[in-house]
Structure 1
Amino acid sequence: MELNDDNYLLFPILLSPSILIFIFVWYKASKGLKLPPGPPAWPIIGNTLDLDAQKPHTWLANLAKCYGPLISLRLGPKFLVVASSPATAREILKTHDKDLSGRYKSRLSTAIPDFKSSVIVLSADCNERWRFLRSNAHLELFSARAIESHSKIRAEKAEEMLHFLFEKDNEVVAIADILYATIVNSLTNTMLSEDIIGLEENVDDLRKFSRSLIEFAVPGMADIFSVMEVFDSGTKRKAKEYKEKSRAVWGNIVRDRRGRQKDFDATRMDFLDVLIRNSFDDCQIFNVFSELFVTSDSISTTLEWAVAELTRNQEAFTKLRDEITKSIEEGTTITENHLTKLPYFQACIKETLRLHPPSPFLVPHCALQSCKVMNYEVPKNSLVVVNIYAIGRDPNTWEDPLSFKPERFLGKNIDLKGTHYELLPFGGGRRICIGIPLALKQIQLLLASLVYAFDWSLPDGMDPTKLDMSDKFSIPLGRAKPLLLILKKRKHLKIHIPPPRPKI
């Protein structure tokens, strides 16, 4: 419904009873409860006007310094609980994992047919459908067997990236765009056995499409204030745009594959074949692929931050290159398996993820039941968020937290599997990201290839120590300014890089 003069005349009539309802719901929900501390809230609107939409991750981190590691805010009649320490994250992701494992059902997600029943990360409940999708995605894409079987694909895509960058020798490149296209094609070859974009193509539309899915996980104004539903024309428009774009990206591929099912070859089966043979319709397949597709943006953003940190910290770059070079035998290639055995390399990746997690917050949880967290009440249906950005920069947890110091992880048994609550870039509990092993393989191989094969410099002779490292809030949490880099191919490379394959 669009806003017009008649709507404005109706607004006071609609708003008056809604005010009474909001006051009643707000008063009833909070009466007698010992809620986590937080800033004072206005009647009806709560803390909605206080939110810093430009930098919510830093705003909430600063609130935690004032009110403690577990805080609560009111968004209209709804409660938002934010955890900003390893101890509070542990309570949410382990102690009360079952009660707090729901997902918020936004109006946008319910406007897409079968959306909540054909996604994994954004599924509202951990039900049988969710378990089926998660287990099959794990089996076909993320299990040790699947990851090993697809290693050739990742190696080929890394080689294609290197050849593309060799041709750009000494030119200024937007490294994140090239990494993004490389990762997209690696993922789509794993899921459906083909590329969907060229390394030289503009990636803005694809990236915009993948980021549009983030809106499905968070509440909009019409979700918070139900009276606004009558004026909400954006939800239907966004739902229509998503359906049209997902069909444009995946439609022809799925239709062509359905037409070839009569000649199905079980020895060449991929994830798309699995979904088709389990009676998924087109819209459900589009939803599954679109959700998995989001990971490409997160991985490329992490790599851009890693490259930026290593460009800015030349001592760390030199130490990392020396470690990689010493591990490579003459005439061989960089392999994923031997990279896992390089301690400083692994420390650089962990340090990047500590400072620059793919998302500043874990995907919001929803309280399926009321429960007590750190002796505070978390009411049923509350939104629950873990601020991993704040945890990664907490001076109570990390010494000199704003500095890039990979050495802090050497000799420490801190992994990325969601059980060390001071480092949670991929979440934890039953909602932990199932793609961790694949994401790390991609990050390791592409970063090692760039470090080993090229000398890096900034345009116009810029001093690397002056590189702007500010972020811009989005999901994933990207740089405020894209990283522009000059890559110069190193002479006398020890590794063997096969010639580029001819395009068919």
Structure 2
Amino acid sequence: MGHELFSNNASNNHPPQIHSLHTSPQEVQPPSRPQPWPIIGNLNLMGALPHRSLHELSKKYGPLMSVRFGSYPAVVGSSVELAKYFLKTHDVLFTNRPKFAAGKYTTYNYSDITWSQYGPYWRQARKMCLVELFSAKRLESYEYIRVEEICNLLQDLYSSSGKVIMLKDLLSTVSLNVISRMVLGKKYLDKSSEGAIVSPEEFKWMLDELFLLNGVLNIGDSIPWLNFLDLQGYIKRMKKLGKMFDRFLEHVLDEHNERRTSEGENFVAKDMVDVLLQLADDPTLEVKLKREGVKAFTQDLIAGGTESSAVTAEWAISELLKRPEIFKKATEELDRVIGRERWVEEKDINQLPYINAIVKETMRLHPVAPMLTPRQSREDAVFNGYDIPVGTRVLVNVWTIGRDPTIWDKPDEFRPERFLGKSIDVKGQDFELLPFGSGRRMCPGYSLGLKVIQVSVANLLHGFNWRLPDGMKEADLSLEEIFGLSTPKKEPLQCVVKPKLPAHLYGA
């Protein structure tokens, strides 16, 4: 390739100065990229946690770095300026997705919102999400579901008082139940439901596997001629997972279609699958929504809505268990604003700045997606005079941005106070904090995820005192993560709760 990328300025204080070189890569070795090896490029520099590997490389090569993953060139942006360039200023140039195996085998050949290519189909899907599925009116109409399921979570915790609990299991259950009822119309995974096609444990495993496989560095995605060997075994796992999800989703669609047929003209859409099936019948759609598309969107809705809230809430409690003084401040705010005779409701959240600050600080240090899902340039682009050729893969490392010392004071410390009195939000407009991404490819369901996270965390802190199991010290609490499309804790949090509100609030 006749273009190589390098930076004269590795500081995050200024946009990097980037130049275009019209000499061959053999003649010039640019200083802003690690030396690629034959065939594999820079894959040898990627560890088990690629966002951390690229973070360390960016310290050496600057906030804009050129890397090579096997046969493909890529650029990594690790600063606010570059996030804004890729996700806002030239968002439309970088809206494509690389055609990774995960999109082919786990999302019906790129039929979902995450992996579909930019074009009429994707634009229509995004419009469906914003206008039909995640409109403020529809989310408000489902608030009673969120209230009921969070109450169930609080009752489960109350009944587990004094025992060691695995918090992620309980959090996953509540978020999965919320999403199941909103998207599918019922708790398909309830052990008591008749003809359950998947057990709750199996389905949670499927979701974990989906997020892992959609984030892995699969060698065949970088070196296509090795794809058939499936050296890491990922393709085999993707195919197995795809079949498991398809069996479940076929069952869901069949049940919904049976109700539509039996009710005829009296049919009223009750959940998001009903809405999607109605849209699939709409003759005015620019691109016909096929059955595969309905299944792919349904899978996106279930997975995205479940993972982000459970992972973020677990990280928040983990960080707070290391800092009892933050628990105390949160309790003081909750007692003052909410009192001790009721639970926190969604409408209360704006009156709880410290709780909001805890959520934002958790998302800064532990973004659900530490590297936003890869983008790919649709056309040749120019940044400060440097040509980024069409087809270049683009990675935005929000994990590094969240630790940039030029933006954040003592960036490795968990300090919610840094957000008090500041207007930094997580809605994609403040590029210092992008847990849900930004621009056209931003997570379309972020408003739902945020509601569930905020209310869950607020009520977990409001209703209980928390401690580590006997014999475990704060220093023993691991904050290591697993890498995938999301980054949950490597060691699930075990803890002990003790109720602190009147017993009748827990349904006792």
TM bin (shorter chain): 0.7 to 0.9
Please state how far the C-alpha of 1:300 moved relative to its aligned partner.
Answer: 0.5
Which of residues 154, 158, 171 in structure 1 aligns to 2:150? 158
How far apart are the structure 2 equivalents of 1:232 and 1:475? 20
208-217 vs 290-299, which moves further: 208-217
Structure 1 residues 433-452: Cα deviation after superposition (integer angstroms, max 9, x where no partner): 11111111101111111111
Please name the residue that 1:276 is paired with. Answer: 277
Structure 1 runs (4+) deviating above 6 angstroms are 31-36, 199-202
Which of residues 120, 127, 131 in structure 1 aligns to 2:123? 131
- Is 1:64 paired with 2:62? no
Which of residues 438, 445, 457 in structure 1 aligns to 2:455? 445
- Is 1:88 paired with 2:79? no
How far apart are the structure 2 equivalents of 1:433 and 1:363? 10
Corresponding letter in the other structure for 1:226: P
How far apart are the structure 2 equivalents of 1:313 and 1:413? 25
Summarize the Cα distance change of 1:427–1:243 in structure 2 as closer, same or farther, 3 Å threshold.
same
Summarize the Cα distance change of 1:150–1:498 in structure 2 as closer, same or farther, 3 Å threshold.
farther
Please state how far the C-alpha of 1:293 moved relative to its aligned partner.
Answer: 2.1
For residues 356-371 of structure 1, what are the structure 2 equivalents within 5 Å?
356-371=366-381
- SS of corresponding position for 2:94: coil
For residues 299-378 of structure 1, what are the structure 2 equivalents within 5 Å?
299-329=309-339, 331-378=341-388
Please name the residue that 2:222 is paired with. Answer: 224
Please name the residue that 2:296 is paired with. Answer: 287
Question: 5+ unaligned residues in a row in structure 2: which ranges?
Answer: 1-21, 193-197, 282-288
Please state how far the C-alpha of 1:66 moved relative to its aligned partner.
Answer: 0.6
- SS of corresponding position for 1:444: helix
User: Normalising by structure 2, what TM-score?
Assistant: 0.85
Structure 1 residues 172-230: Cα deviation after superposition (integer angstroms, max 9, x where no partner): 11001110111011011111211133499985532332244443566632232232244
How far apart are the structure 2 equivalents of 1:338 and 1:360? 29
Summarize the Cα distance change of 1:474–1:405 in structure 2 as closer, same or farther, 3 Å threshold.
same
Please name the residue that 1:407 is paired with. Answer: 417
Cα RMSD, aligned residues only: 2.7
Summarize the Cα distance change of 1:488–1:60 in structure 2 as closer, same or farther, 3 Å threshold.
same
Question: 5+ unaligned residues in a row in structure 1: which ranges?
Answer: 1-26, 500-504
How far apart are the structure 2 equivalents of 1:466 and 1:107? 38
- Is 1:431 paired with 2:441? yes
Summarize the Cα distance change of 1:66–1:38 in structure 2 as closer, same or farther, 3 Å threshold.
same
- Contact 2:51–2:399 (8 Å) recurs in 1: yes
Please name the residue that 1:487 is paired with. Answer: 497
Structure 1 residues 280-313: Cα deviation after superposition (integer angstroms, max 9, x where no partner): 5543332112122222112211110001111111
- Contact 2:312–2:366 (8 Å) recurs in 1: yes
Corresponding letter in the other structure for 1:222: G
- Contact 2:69–2:222 (8 Å) recurs in 1: yes
How far apart are the structure 2 equivalents of 1:340 and 1:152? 19
Structure 1 residues 5-56: Cα deviation after superposition (integer angstroms, max 9, x where no partner): xxxxxxxxxxxxxxxxxxxxxx99858999782111123332122222x121
- Contact 2:260–2:267 (8 Å) recurs in 1: no
Corresponding letter in the other structure for 1:81: V
- Contact 2:218–2:234 (8 Å) recurs in 1: no
Please name the residue that 2:244 is paired with. Answer: 245
How far apart are the structure 1 equivalents of 2:152 and 2:218? 41
- Contact 1:359–1:425 (8 Å) recurs in 2: yes
User: Percent identity among equivalent residues?
Assistant: 32
Please name the residue that 2:488 is paired with. Answer: 478
Corresponding letter in the other structure for 2:183: M
User: Normalising by structure 1, what TM-score?
Assistant: 0.86
How far apart are the structure 1 equivalents of 2:373 and 2:39? 26
Which of residues 179, 201, 221 in structure 1 aligns to 2:171? 179
- Contact 2:464–2:500 (8 Å) recurs in 1: yes
Please name the residue that 2:11 is paired with. Answer: none
Please name the residue that 1:49 is paired with. Answer: 44
Summarize the Cα distance change of 1:46–1:28 in structure 2 as closer, same or farther, 3 Å threshold.
farther
How far apart are the structure 2 equivalents of 1:35 and 1:380? 20
For residues 9-48 of structure 1, what are the structure 2 equivalents within 5 Å?
37-48=32-43
